[in-house]
Structure 1
Amino acid sequence: MSTSSHAVLLSRIADRTAHAGVIGLGYVGLPLAIAIARKGFTVTGFDIDPGKIVAIEAGRSYIEAVGDDVLSAERDAGRFSATVDFDGLAACDVIVICVPTPLTRHRDPDLTYIVKTCQEIALRLRSGQLVVLESTTYPGTTTDVVRPILAATGLDIGGEVFLGFSPEREDPGNRDFSTTSIPKIVAGDGDAAAEAMEAFYSAVVERVVPVSTTATAEAVKLTENIFRAVNIALVNELKTVFEAMGIDIWEVIDAAKTKPFGYMPFYPGPGLGGHCIPIDPFYLTWKSREYDMPTRFIELAGEINSAMPKHIVGRLAEALDIHLGKALSRSRVLIIGLAYKKNVPDIRESPSLKLIELIEERGGSASFHDPHVDEIPRTREYLSLKGRRSVPLSELAGFDAVLVATDHDDVDYALIAQQAPLIIDTRNVFARRGLQGGLIVKA
């Protein structure tokens, strides 16, 4: 009865009676769930964290991209609800998986969340459902990992149940693009699934870009993030070379980007953060071993970017010694910005956490100031830092050096320039703002 199952699904998508389920209500899942609801669909969000459900029921958004008013409006209209009870998946016509895909300690893909989620779906799977994976992963995951779990139910994948992949393209803090305005890559496992994928996402976002296979769609996401990782590594390496020559990398980039063709500016920093760029390239590196194909650019980029926090702490120690005659082991350092990028509260894979660890390994004392992060939550790699709170800038006088790791807009840099004995600027924020202080070292 594949034709009827497919036809019913398409009909429900077309008239907005399809019930959508979004599993994983984080930086990707919650904005997507609200976007779907605002297009007239009824949406149920699923998450294993009861705290998120409590916040949603109270109308409080924990994601900056989703305002409390928007969340409350969709909840009050009955278009959006959230639960920890996965039994509700049986009522969903479309199920979208937005769960984390971290790396293991050996930098291999960790698909635990995807596998467990698919097992929960399989327990409630029924004819006429479209199951979509949005989590970033290596090419072949949808067909080689997700498909067998769903197929084990005995339902015909491609006939009764439809499977697709559409990579998330969220950019926290970007006010120019939102979930619905970013073009959406979609692919289905077979023609029927591809048609359902295009129909569903066309009803939610402004532009859909179909590709031929789910593996292609998976590769698109990795390519986007590898492109950024490699180019950031390049400018990070150039920065260290130009430092030795007494050349300002920021001035070089500003001049180079005046060329109207053949150049795209990327900027150095204290290391890479976020869930995507530091992690996703290694998914392809891991998969490429299956084909006996080396990924030298990707691995070298990873080495360069991973080494940047250590380079920055080295520059900090050197500057303290030269300018203040003080050892890092006897110094108090205030790090500006715990989040991995400006104007967001997201600390996933943030280099600032590594900077704190490295400074304290060398005997120094490290604190942070971040207007978007009040307290360091529990993290997998930095358990000892849990509970540390943001220090107000009114306590600047107690620090020997300030290290700018993240250039949030709403930081009083003028105050820092006036009061900090030594500033290590990894983001060129003081030069960009025309601020001068006693000792500002670009790093």
Structure 2
Amino acid sequence: MNKLEGLEELLINKLNTKNATIGVVGLGYVGLPLAVEKAKAGFNVIGFDVQEEKVKSVNDGINYIGDVLPADLESLVLSGKLKATSDYSFIKEVDAVAICVPTPLDIYKQPNMSYVESSARAISANFTKGTLIVLESTTYPGTTAELIKPILEESGMVCGEDFFLAYSPERVDPGNKEFNTKNTPKVVGGITRNCTEVAAAMYRAVLDGDVHEVSSPAVAEMEKLLENTFRNINVALANEMAILCNKMGIDVWEVIDAAASKPYGFMPFYPGPGLGGHCIPIDPWYLTWKAREYNYHTKLIETAGEINDSMPDFVVQRCAEILNIQGKALNGSKILVLGVAYKKNIDDYRESPVLPILERLTNSGSEWKVVDPYIPSFKFQGDVVDTVSLTKENLEESDLILITTNHSNFNYDLILSSNSYILDTRNSYQNLTKDKYYKI
């Protein structure tokens, strides 16, 4: 038995018997649900985050992520299975650690890897021989091998000999009631075959979903980008169809429903005010950035991004057209915006297309209020904006009601009973035809 086989056997045995301690770096929308599932599976879990308020909330058993049940978090903290810290020296106490930190774009739509890099350096300074490190943050192909591996080897240890390194993309879909962290299949690709086996063993000990092993981290990194680019491009097609159908006086939603009646060869995607969330509007740009290294221009991906990015302008244009029917201009009109979350029934407004819509309305001189039962306040242009309640008074005093997020708990009968004009970007009323009611 060589040195690596001994380390692999030891760690897999720890994972299978739930005697391993697992770390999670980054306690946000991905990291906290993952930490909770690992603790629920019977592991001792240490969460790491640089934000002291998150650390305190976890240690107080106070939940701040919609996909985590507050009772689960509180119970795990009280039982001692889960704790949080901002002290990365505790990395030395873990047998495996997942990196779940943000990977945003900069102003030039290039990957900002500072969070990943700083996390890798903190781990490199503190981890011990035989540790498994898995990057889960969505990123460009090559990140694990080209960025993470050299940083970890600054410790003097060698990947594939002294520690295990793999990539396994997060597949969190906030608000999805059917698929969550526990039951969504995982893709795993390690630097070496043994790295893949150890990482797969960890996820099989935690999750109910299948674990799909691939030949390298680059394959796993690329497949995540393919998932999100696939959705980005198909939503762009639906959005472009919506713009064209509007010009032609055709209901795009009826068109999509008709096309979806075909039992093969078609998958329905729907238009909207634009794309939001951390993944879909951002991830394809990692691929376009990396493609330049190979002197390749990703024309289709970039065109799709441009179409989706243009939807807030189209929505505001439609607002102007509907106000014009009333003999009013955007300037000075009162608009009630229903929803700032980027999708229904969640409290997440990261990259929400509603924010650029509000920016354009502001620049046009409109007066607007936002209703969102999931988000009591949000940051906009450096200020904190409080949302308002959905009341008959707020509806009636508006020149236009703009439905941007179709939350299930909106009182749609109350909205429809208003005398105000309505622009619905989400087809909230299906095939409704009614005076003063418009769809994109």
TM-score (normalised: structure 1): 0.96
| Paired residue type of 2:327 | G
Q: Which amino acid is 1:402 matched to?
A: I
Query: Relative to 1, partners in 2 of residues 1:222 and 1:309: Cα closer, same or farther, differing over 3 Å?
Result: same
After superposition, what is the alpha-carbon deviation per residue over 1:61-81, rounded to whole angstroms, capped at 9, x for unaligned? 111111110111111221111
1:283-298 matched pairs, under 5 angstroms:
283-298=286-301
Equivalent position amino acid for 1:21 in 2: G
Partner residue of 1:414? 413
Q: 1:48 to 1:420 in 2, by over 3 A?
A: farther
Question: 1:163 maps to what in 2?
Answer: 165
* Stretch of structure 1 that moved more, 395-404 or 169-178: 395-404
Amino acid at match of 1:10: I
Paired amino acid for 1:415: L
Distance in structure 2 (CA, Å) of the matches to 1:124 and 1:392: 49
Q: Deviations over 1:213-265 (max 9, x none)?
A: 10000001000000000000001001111111111000001111011011000
Contact 1:138 1:287 in 2 (8 A): yes
Corresponding position of 1:42: 44
Is the Cα–Cα contact under 8 Å of residues 130 and 162 in structure 1 kept in the other structure? yes
Identity of counterpart residues, as a percentage? 44
Matches within 5 A, 1:424-435: 424-431=423-430
2:402 is aligned to 403
Partner of 2:354: 352
Counterpart of 1:250 in structure 2 is: 253
Structure 1 outlier segments of 4+, above 3 Å: none
Work out whether residues 402 and 420 of structure 1, in 8 Å CA contact, stay in contact via their aligned partners in 2: no
Contact map agreement 2:193 2:215 (CA 8 A) in 1: no
Give the 5 Å matches for 1:329-408: 329-377=331-379, 382-384=380-382, 386-394=383-391, 395-408=394-407
CA contact (8 A) 2:395 2:420 kept: no
Shift of the alpha carbon at 1:387?
1.4
> What is the number of equivalent residue pairs in this alignment?
435
Q: Give the aligned partner of residue 70 of structure 1.
A: 72
Q: Which deviates more, 395-404 or 293-302?
A: 395-404
Q: CA deviation at 1:3?
A: 3.1
Q: Are residues 1:441 and 2:404 paired? A: no
Correspondence 1:2 to 2:19: no
> What does residue 202 of structure 1 align with?
204
Residue in 1 that maps onto 2:329: 327
Query: 1:104 matched to which residue of 2?
Result: 106
| Secondary structure of 2:293 counterpart | helix
Instruction: State how far apart, in whole Å, the 2-side matches of 1:271 and 1:210 are.
Output: 34
Question: Quick one: distance in 1 between partners of 2:414 and 2:16?
Answer: 56
Of 240, 262, 266, which residue of structure 1 is paired with 2:269?
266
1:281 is aligned, of 276, 284, 298, to: 284
Q: TM-score, normalised by structure 2?
A: 0.97
Please tell me whether the aligned partners of residues 65 and 173 of structure 1 are also in contact (alpha carbons under 8 angstroms): yes
Say yes or no: does 1:138 pair with 2:140. Answer: yes
AA at the equivalent of 1:404: I
- CA shift, 1:383, in A, is 3.1
DSSP 3-state at the match of 2:22 = strand
Question: Structure 2 regions of 5+ residues with no counterpart?
Answer: none
Following superposition, the deviation at residue 398 of structure 1 comes to 2.5
Distance 2:124 2:346 in 1: 36
Q: Distance in 1 between matches of 2:245 and 2:6?
A: 65
Q: CA RMSD in A?
A: 1.1
Partner residue in 2 for 1:309: 312
SS in 1 for 2:384: coil
Quick one: which of 222, 229, 237 aligns to 1:234?
A: 237
Distance 2:207 2:61 in 1: 24
